[in-house]
C-alpha cells in the first residue's frame, strides 16, 4: 500500500529505448505509466497544478466529472486521499451506485463523494449556471472538467517533455480531451513534429486543439506556428472509442509480450499501432522518436 501513498518523482522521468523491429533504432518510450498505480500516466500531469491551486488558495476540495469507468475520477479520488483534499465526483448515470463497479467502489473507498446524475443532467457539466448550482452543495470546491483538460492540466503536461532531452524529431501521444498533447506541443521546440492519435472516432484534432489554445489566450500567429507542428494519426479503422478490432487486440498482446510493457486498448494500443504504421509508411528508420505512454487501465 505504501506506493499508493505518494507520487515518486524519480518515476516521472523514465525514458527507455523501445525495440519494435530491427529497422527502427532510435525509438524511445516515456514511461509515465509507471508514475503511480492509480494516478498513472497523464493523470498525474493533469492533476498536479490543480492540486497546487487548491492548496495555495485554501479551497475546500476538488469536484470533477466522469463516466462509470472513468480513470480520471479514480485518479482524482486517489490524489485527494494522498493530499488530504476532499473530493466529489459527478457521475454520468443515475442508475449507478457506489458498488456498480470496481472503479466506482474504489473512488468511494478513497473518500470521494459520488453524486449520480442522469445523462441529461450530465450534459450541463460545462455550463456555468450548473456549476454554480453544484457549488452551493460543494461550497468553495475547485471544479476540474471531465478528463482534467483545463489550463492547469495542459500546463502540467509540459513537464512530460521538459524532463527529457527534448530533442526528438517526432513525439507521439494519444488524445482524448487534447490536454496532454497540447502540453507536449507547448513544450517541444519548433524542430519537433507532434503525432497525435485521437481515441474518439471522427474527432477533429486540429480544430479542437486550435480552439483550446485560443481559449487559453494564445495569439493567432503563435497558434498557427504551433499547430503546423501537429500531424494527426487517424485510428478510426481500429474500432472507435472503447472498442477494438481483433487486429488491434493482437497487436496489443504482441506488443506487451515483446516489450514487457502493459498498454491499454482505448488509448495506447491504438496510438502505438498507428505510430508503427507511420514509421513504416514514411520510412522513419533514422529519426529520433519519442512515444509517450499515458498509462490507463482499459
Ligand X SMILES: Cc1ncc(COP(=O)(O)O)c(C=O)c1O
| CB 84, min distance to ligand X, A | 24
Q: Which CB atom, from 85 or from 179, has the smaller least distance to ligand X?
A: 179
Residues 6 or more apart in contact with residue 106 via CB below 8 angstroms = 38, 74, 77
Which has the closest alpha carbon to 109: 134, 90, 87?
A: 87
Q: Which CB atom, from 111 or from 262, has the smaller least distance to ligand X?
A: 262
CA 46 to mean position of chain CA atoms: 7
| CB 137, min distance to ligand X, A | 26
Q: Which CB atom, from 264 or from 276, has the smaller least distance to ligand X?
A: 264
Strands in 15-17's sheet, in edge-to-edge order, are 15-17, 27-31, 289-293, 170-175, 193-198, 230-232
Task: Give the interface with ligand X as residue ranges (CB under 6 A).
Answer: 41-42, 71-72, 147, 149, 174-181, 264, 267, 294-296
| CB 293, min distance to ligand X, A | 9
Q: Which CB atom, from 285 or from 297, has the smaller least distance to ligand X?
A: 297
Residue 146 grid coordinates: 471531465
| CB 196, min distance to ligand X, A | 8
| Chain residue at closest Cβ approach to ligand X | 296
Q: Which CB atom, from 101 or from 140, has the smaller least distance to ligand X?
A: 101
| CB 159, min distance to ligand X, A | 13
> What are the E-state strand segments in the chain?
15-17, 27-31, 61-66, 87-92, 113-117, 141-143, 170-175, 193-198, 230-232, 289-293
Amino acid at each position: 500500500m505504501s506506493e499508493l501513498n505518494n507520487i515518486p518523482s524519480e518515476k516521472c522521468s523514465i525514458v527507455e529505448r523501445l525495440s519494435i523491429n530491427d529497422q527502427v533504432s532510435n525509438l524511445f518510450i516515456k514511461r509515465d505509466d509507471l508514475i503511480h498505480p492509480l494516478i498513472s500516466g497523464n493523470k498525474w500531469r493533469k492533476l498536479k497544478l490543480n492540486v497546487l491551486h487548491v492548496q495555495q488558495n485554501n479551497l475546500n476540495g476538488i469536484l470533477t466529472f466522469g463516466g462509470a469507468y472513468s480513470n480520471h475520477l479514480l485518479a482524482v479520488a486517489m490524489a485527494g486521499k494522498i493530499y488530504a483534499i476532499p473530493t466529489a465526483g459527478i457521475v454520468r448515470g443515475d442508475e449507478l451506485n457506489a458498488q456498480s463497479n470496481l472503479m466506482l467502489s474504489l473512488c468511494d473507498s478513497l473518500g470521494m463523494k459520488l453524486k449520480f446524475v442522469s445523462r441529461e443532467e450530465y450534459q450541463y457539466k460545462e455550463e456555468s449556471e450548473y456549476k454554480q448550482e453544484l457549488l452551493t452543495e460543494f461550497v468553495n470546491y475547485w471544479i476540474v472538467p471531465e478528463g482534467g483538460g483545463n489550463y492547469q492540466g495542459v500546463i502540467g503536461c509540459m513537464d512530460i517533455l521538459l524532463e527529457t532531452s527534448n530533442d526528438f524529431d517526432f513525439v507521439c501521444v494519444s488524445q482524448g480531451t487534447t490536454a496532454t498533447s497540447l502540453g507536449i506541443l507547448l513544450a517541444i521546440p519548433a524542430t519537433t513534429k507532434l503525432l497525435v492519435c485521437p481515441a474518439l472516432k471522427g474527432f477533429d484534432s486540429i480544430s479542437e486543439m486550435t480552439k483550446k489554445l485560443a481559449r487559453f489566450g494564445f495569439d493567432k500567429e503563435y497558434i498557427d506556428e504551433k499547430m503546423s507542428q501537429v500531424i494527426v494519426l487517424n485510428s478510426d479503422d481500429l474500432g472507435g472509442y472503447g472498442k477494438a478490432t481483433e487486429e488491434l487486440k493482437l497487436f496489443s498482446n504482441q506488443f506487451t509480450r515483446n516489450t514487457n510493457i502493459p498498454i491499454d486498448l482505448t488509448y495506447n494500443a491504438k496510438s502505438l499501432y498507428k505510430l508503427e504504421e507511420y514509421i513504416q509508411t514514411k520510412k522513419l528508420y533514422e529519426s529520433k522518436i519519442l512515444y509517450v505512454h499515458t498509462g490507463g487501465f482499459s
